[in-house]
Amino acid sequence: MRYFSLKALLFAALSLGFSLLSFAENAYWAEFGNQPVYIEQVNARSKQTLKFINFKDGMLVAEITVDGGVGEISLPVSESMVNTLRFDVSEMQKANRLIRDGNDAGAVEVLRPVVYPLVKFSQVPELFSQLHSPLRALIGSLISAGELYEADDLLRRIPLDKVDIKYSQLAIQLMHSHIAEEDFDAAARIARELPKSGAYAANITEVVSAADALRGAGEYEAVIPLYREIEGSVPEEVRKNVRMWLAYSLVLADRVDEASPMIDSMKEPDGKDRLFSLYKLLQGSREHRNKNYDAALDVLTRGFVRAQTSYVWVPEMLFLIGDCYARAADPIAARNVWFEITVLYPDSPWAERAAESLSKLPKPEPAPPSS
């Protein structure tokens, strides 16, 4: 057995405490975040190195020394000005090589000290690519290396609605990583914070996808406010779909009283409309929640026969149909339906729930031996 001295144990405990504190507060930001950035400006034949300390009100703020005193000067950012700036992150070459080799953690170590100070300049126009490329490289490497909360901290310091959509794409990547790690609260927060209007309308599809994943994971209380926000952001032709999902999530969250007025106000889509089966899922889930299992089975089945297997809500519909059969003491029918989910939709969160429900069904009776 290996023994440790009291001093070693105390050091380990202090180190653990420091790492937990760093995790919560991002000690790297305290160390590097407020450092100045030195950028060379080349005008005709003259060169000078400027010490930039901030970006405020659309202006780069530089610190200057005049007659032994320290002052500040604000410089408006324009294309002509940016063309005179030279900012070379020499570490980028090494970091890119590490990233190509799959060593994102190594790239993070290289980039942290020099890129952290750039975060406060994230609103500098995108044409200053010398600044934005290393910044996005660090955030992307943090996500790939599994340093999700550090990446989250940096992205929360960047106003996504005031920078290029490429930063939103990193936030979306982080959001999906949080979902994969089952940190649904963090994923839902990112989905809410993503800009969704104007130039950022492309984010809506990803936010809807995240909402579907959260709903599939049973995170109804997290997804309800998200659907409410999406409802006001999406185009009119998509709004009916989102409103159905909002009502459905309310039902599943046992908030039927809130969902019922929404359901009752909806006009039933035509039987040939793809939303017809979703509408029947909505009606059937309400009946299921109210323990009217025969009525639920009837409504859900009518919706299912009009659905296509590619519709994203079909696994959910099948799961509820199987549950109605199980509650009607028809385990064979329930088994067949739930098994179909695991075969046809193995990557759906409903496949996992179906497999769990299958394990709770009574074992089928063995067939009698043939005479």
Q: Looking at the domain assignment, is residue 9 inside a domain?
A: no
Longest dimension (CA), the chain: 110
Indicate whether 17 pLDDT > 70: no
Q: Looking at the domain assignment, is residue 338 inside a domain?
A: yes
Q: Looking at the domain assignment, is residue 16 inside a domain?
A: no
Q: Looking at the domain assignment, is residue 14 inside a domain?
A: no
Question: Are 129 and 122 in contact, with CB atoms under 8 Å apart?
Answer: no
More confident site: 54 or 279: 279
Ranges of H-type helices in 86-147: 91-100, 104-115, 129-144
Q: Looking at the domain assignment, is residue 283 inside a domain?
A: yes
Of 97-106, 107-116, 193-202, the range with the lowest mean pLDDT is 193-202
Residue 368 confidence (pLDDT): 66
Indicate whether 99 pLDDT > 80: yes
Of 6-10, 131-135, 226-230, 313-317, the range with the lowest mean pLDDT is 6-10
Residue 10 confidence (pLDDT): 33
Tell me how many domains the chain contains.
1
Question: Are 345 and 351 in contact, with CB atoms under 8 Å apart?
Answer: yes
Of 71-80, 220-229, 352-361, the range with the lowest mean pLDDT is 71-80
Domain residues for 357? Answer: 273-363
Of 13-17, 70-74, 221-225, the range with the lowest mean pLDDT is 13-17
Question: Are 288 and 265 in contact, with CB atoms under 8 Å apart?
Answer: no
- Phi/psi at 368 (5° precision): -65, 145
Q: What is the CATH number of the domain that holds 305?
A: 1.25.40.10
CA atoms within 13 A on the CB side of 91: 15
The three-class DSSP label of residue 327 is helix
- As a whole number, mean pLDDT of residues 257-273 equals 91
Q: Looking at the domain assignment, is residue 296 inside a domain?
A: yes
Tell me, yes or no, if the pTM score tops 0.75.
no
| Percent of the chain with pLDDT strictly greater than 70 | 91
pLDDT in tens, 19-62: 333 345 899 999 999 888 888 878 767 777 778 888 888 888 88
Q: Looking at the domain assignment, is residue 214 inside a domain?
A: no
- Phi/psi at 246 (5° precision): -60, -50
Write out the DSSP string of 36-99: -EEEEEEETTEEEEEEEEEEETTEEEEEEEETTEEEEEEEE--HHHHTTEE---THHHHHHHHH
Q: Looking at the domain assignment, is residue 316 inside a domain?
A: yes
Confidence of residue 366 (pLDDT cuts 50, 70, 90): low
Residue 86 confidence (pLDDT): 76
pLDDT in tens, 197-238: 889 989 988 988 898 888 878 888 889 988 888 887 777 777
Question: How far apart, in Å, are the Cα atoms of 177 and each of 112, 129, 214, 218?
Answer: 21, 26, 13, 18
